[in-house]
Amino acid sequence: MKQKTTHKKHYWKQNLRYLGILLSIWFFASYGAAIVFKDTLDGILIGGFPLGFWMAQQGAIYVFVVLIFVYIRLMNTLEKKYGVGD
Amino acid sequence: MDVQSWTYLLVGITFSIYIGIAIWSKAGSTKDFYVAGGGISPWANGLATAADWMSAASFISMAGLISFMGYDGSVYLMGWTGGYVLLALLIAPYLRKFGKYTVTDFIGERYYSNVARVVAVICALLVSFTYVAGQMRGVGVVFSRFLEVNINTGVIIGMLIVLFYAVLGGMKGITYTQVAQYCVLIFAFMVPAIFISIQMTGNPIPQVGMGSTLSDGSGTYLLDRLNGLSQELGFADYTQGSKSRIDVFAITLALMVGTAGLPHVIVRFFTVKKVSDARKSAGIALLCIAILYTTAPAVAVFARTNLIETVSEQPYESMPQWFKNWEKTGLLSYDDKNGDGHIQYNANATTNELTVDRDIMVLANPEIAQLPNWVIALVAAGGLAAALSTAAGLLLVISASISHDLIKKVFKPNISERNELWSARLAAVFAVVIAGYFGINPPGFVAAVVALAFGLAAASFFPAIILGIFYKRMNKQGAIAGMVVGLSIMLFYMLKFKFGLFDGGKTTVASLQENWWWGISPEGFGSVAMLVNFAVSLIVNYFTPPPPEDVQMMVEDIRIPQGASAAQAH
C-alpha cells in the first residue's frame, strides 16, 4: 500500500515535468516563433514562405500534433513503469 | 448534370446516411444518451471530435476570413488547434477518469456545491446557444444558395434532420453520424483545394503549393504575387497583416483557452473506455483537424489571388456566371461609382466598387476556379455536414445540462432513469426550436457573438477546471467567485466595446477602439478575463477554508488513470 502511494506520487511528479517541457515548446512554437519573433524569422525564406508567416499558418499546427503524440507515448511508458495504467 | 441536380443527389445521399445511422444507434439509457454508453473507440471518437469541432465557421467562413486578413488570420489557425494541446495534456484524461456525464457535473462535484453547478450550467448554456445559432444560419445559407430554397426553409430542414438523430440517438447517434460527417466534410474541403493547387502551382499538395512558384511560367512565388497585388490595390501585405502583435497574441490565447473550455468538445472525451484512450483520441482529433486547418490558409491564398485577378479592372459585362449567381444572394455586390463599366477593387472605401462577403470565398472558390459541377455540389454537402455535426454536439450539451444538471441534480433528485431520458429528449427538442428561431431571425450580433463564445468559455470554465485538477486545495468559494467575476468582466467588455452599450450604441463602436484596454480587442479579451478569473479564484481561496477531505481524495484519484475502466462496468 505504502509503495503504491509513493508510486502514484512519482508518477504525478514526472507527469508535471513532462507537462512543463511540452507546454514550453507549445508556447514557443506559437506565441514565440509565430507572433513575438515573427518579424525576425520572416527574414529567413523557405521556398516562397517567410519563416515567421509559415510558423503561424502551418508550422505551429504541425508542432501541436507532434506534441500530443509525444505526450501519449511518454505517458503510456510512464504508466507501465509505475503500474498505474488502466 | 447541372450543379443543382448534383447538389440534390449528394445532399440526399449524405442525409440518408445520417438518418440511417440514427435509427441503427438508438439510445436506450441515459448513459447512452449522454456519453454513448462510454464505449466509443479512440479512432471513432477522434473523428467525431474533429467533426464536432469543425463548424460551419471552420468550413465555410475561416478560409474566407483568412483570405481577407492574411497573417492576422493566423489567430484562428493557431487558436483553434493549439487548444487541443491544452485539452490533451491538461483536461481530457482527468475528466475522463472523473467519469461522469457533463463538464458542469465535474464543476458541481469538484466544488461540492450546487451553486457552482448552476453557475457552470448558465455559462454552458450561454456559450452553447450563441454558438448553435450560428450553425443553423450556416445551414440556411448553404441551402439557399445551392438548392435555391428560401433561407428559412433551409433552416427548418436542417432543424428536422438534427432533431431526428439527436433526439433519437443522443450521444450515441451523434457520435456515429459525426464520424460520417467528418469523412464527408474533409473530402469536400480537400478535393477543390487539390484541384486549385494543381491549377495554380502545379503542386497537388495545397500546403506546399501555397509556398510554390506559379505555374504560369513567370517563376514568381505565389505569395510574392499576392503581396504585390495587395500593395497595388492598397491592402496590407498579405504575409504581414495589420493587427497589433499584442492583439494577435491575446486573440490567439483566448481562442486556444476557449477551445479547451468548450463543453461540447470536452464532453466528447467522456465517451471513450479508458484514460489513455482519451489522450489518444485527442491526438487523433487534432490530426484530423490539422488536415483541414493547414489546407485552409492555402485555400485562402488561392482564393484571394484568383478573386483579384478575375475581377480587378475587368469589365463588369465579362464577369463569369458565378459572379452573377452570388450577386443574387446579396453576398457580393458591385456599384459602378465612376461609371466606366469596369470593376475597381481596392482598399479605398470611396473608390472601391466591389463588396465581397467573406463567407462566400470557400463556397464560390470551386466556381471561380471553374471546377466540375460535382465538386461544387460536394462543397455544399460538406458545409452542411460541418454545420449539422457541430449543431448536434451543442444541442446535446444543452439538453444534458438541463436534464442531468438542473433537473436530476438540483430540482428532482429522485427522477427515474426513464423519466430523465425523456426529459433529456424534451430538452433537446426545446433547444432545437430555440436554435432554429435564432437561425431564422438572427439577432444582428450572432456572427460577432460566436467568436465571443470562446472568450466566455475562456473566462469561465477553463480556470475552474484547471485549478480543480491541478490544485488540490482549491475550494468552492474561490472557484465560484472566479467564474462569476471572469464571466462578468468578459460580458462587460463585450457589451462596451462590441455593442457600444454604454456609449450610445453600435455606431460608436469604431471610435471606441482607441480606448481598448492595452489595445486588446473584445475578441482577445477572453485571455485577460481568464487571468482575472485565475487571480480572483486564488485570492478568495487563500482566505477561505480548504475543501472537505473526500473532495481532496477525489482530486488525488482523478490524477491516476488506474481504475477508469473498472468504473465503466456499472
Contact B85 A76 (CB under 8 A): no
How far apart CA B47 and CA B178 sit, in angstroms, is 7
> Which residues in chain A are closer than 8 Å to B279, comparing Cβ atoms?
68, 71-72, 75
For B97, nearest residue in chain A (alpha carbons): A86
For B72, nearest residue in chain A (alpha carbons): A56
Cut 0.90: pTM above it: yes
Q: Is A8 on the interface with B (CB under 8 A)?
A: yes
Angle B227-B230-B231 (CA atoms, 0-180°, nearest 5)? 85
Burial degree of A60 (CB within 10 A; 0-12, 13-18, 19+): buried
pLDDT digits (tens), chain B, 570 positions: 888 889 889 989 998 998 888 888 877 888 888 888 888 999 999 999 999 999 887 888 888 889 889 999 999 999 999 999 999 999 999 999 998 888 899 999 999 999 999 988 988 888 888 788 777 777 777 777 777 777 788 888 888 888 887 888 888 888 999 999 999 999 999 999 999 999 899 999 999 999 999 888 788 899 999 999 999 888 888 898 888 899 999 999 999 999 998 888 999 999 999 999 999 999 999 999 999 999 999 999 998 998 888 888 889 888 888 888 788 877 788 888 888 888 899 888 888 999 888 777 888 888 878 888 898 888 888 988 888 888 888 888 888 888 888 888 888 889 888 898 899 889 989 888 888 888 777 665 555 666 678 888 899 989 999 999 999 999 999 999 999 999 999 989 988 888 788 877 777 777 888 889 998 998 899 999 999 999 999 999 999 999 999 999 999 999 999 877 544 433
For position B446, what pLDDT does the model report?
52
Report the Cα–Cα distance between both ends of chain A, in Å, rounded: 18
For position B509, what pLDDT does the model report?
78
Contact B245 A8 (CB under 8 A): no
**Measuring CA to CA, how many Å separate A72 from each of A40, B85, B90, B294?**
33, 11, 12, 22
> Which residues in chain B are closer than 8 Å to A38, comparing Cβ atoms?
71, 245
For A21, nearest residue in chain B (alpha carbons): B89
> Which residues in chain B are closer than 8 Å to A76, comparing Cβ atoms?
276
For position B444, what pLDDT does the model report?
55
Helix (H) and strand (E) counts in chain B: 25, 2
> Which residues in chain B are closer than 8 Å to A47, comparing Cβ atoms?
208, 211-212, 221
For position B167, what pLDDT does the model report?
81
For position B447, what pLDDT does the model report?
55
Q: Is A70 on the interface with B (CB under 8 A)?
A: no
Of residues B74, B212, B561, nearest to A85 (C-beta): B561
Evaluate if residue A27 carries a pLDDT over 80.
yes
Who contacts B496 (Cβ-Cβ below 8 Å, separation ≥6)?
Answer: B502, B503, B512
The structural domain count of chain B equals 1
Place of cell 490530426: B287
For residue B321, give the C-alpha cell. Answer: 456566371
Contact B74 A23 (CB under 8 A): no
Cα–chain center distance at B429:
22
Its ipTM equals 0.95
Domain interval for residue B322: 41-568
For position B566, what pLDDT does the model report?
45
Which of B247, B562, B565, B568 has the most A C-beta neighbours within 10 Å, making it the best mutation to test the interface with A?
A: B562
> Which residues in chain B are closer than 8 Å to A31, comparing Cβ atoms?
249, 252-253
Domain layout of chain A by residue ranges: 14-82
Residue B299 lies in a domain: yes
Of residues B82, B212, B245, nearest to A60 (C-beta): B82
For B237, nearest residue in chain A (alpha carbons): A53
Q: How far does B89 lie from chain A, in Å, by closest CA?
A: 7
Which of A61, A63, A70, A71 has the most B C-beta neighbours within 10 Å, making it the best mutation to test the interface with B?
A: A61
CB B20 within 8 A of CB B168: no
* Inter-chain contacts counted by CB atoms under 8 A, chains A and B: 132
Q: Is A1 on the interface with B (CB under 8 A)?
A: no
Contact B207 A58 (CB under 8 A): yes
Buried/exposed code over B315-341 (b: 16+ C-beta within 10 A; e: otherwise): eeeebeebbebbeebebbebeeeeeee
CATH code of the domain covering residue B267: 1.20.1730.10
Taking only Cα atoms into account, the Rg of chain B, rounded to an integer number of angstroms, comes to 24
For B279, nearest residue in chain A (alpha carbons): A72
Q: How far does A15 lie from chain B, in Å, by closest CA?
A: 10
**DSSP state, B511?**
H
Residue B13 lies in a domain: no
For A52, nearest residue in chain B (alpha carbons): B239
> Which residues in chain B are closer than 8 Å to A50, comparing Cβ atoms?
223, 239
Look at phi and psi of residue B268 and say left if phi exceeds 0, alpha if psi is from -120 to 50, else beta. Answer: alpha
Q: How far does B286 lie from chain A, in Å, by closest CA?
A: 6
For position B85, what pLDDT does the model report?
96
For B283, nearest residue in chain A (alpha carbons): A68
Contact B560 A84 (CB under 8 A): yes
Q: Is A64 on the interface with B (CB under 8 A)?
A: yes
Tally of CA atoms within 13 A in the half-sphere of B549 that contains its CB: 0
Contact A68 B211 (CB under 8 A): no
Q: How far does A81 lie from chain B, in Å, by closest CA?
A: 13
For position B365, what pLDDT does the model report?
83
For A49, nearest residue in chain B (alpha carbons): B211
For A18, nearest residue in chain B (alpha carbons): B89
Provide mean pLDDT across the span A8-17. Answer: 93
User: Bridge partners of B49?
Assistant: none
Q: Is A32 on the interface with B (CB under 8 A)?
A: no
How far apart CA B506 and CA B503 sit, in angstroms, is 9
Contact B71 A56 (CB under 8 A): yes
Backbone angles phi, psi at B547, to 5 degrees: -70, 160
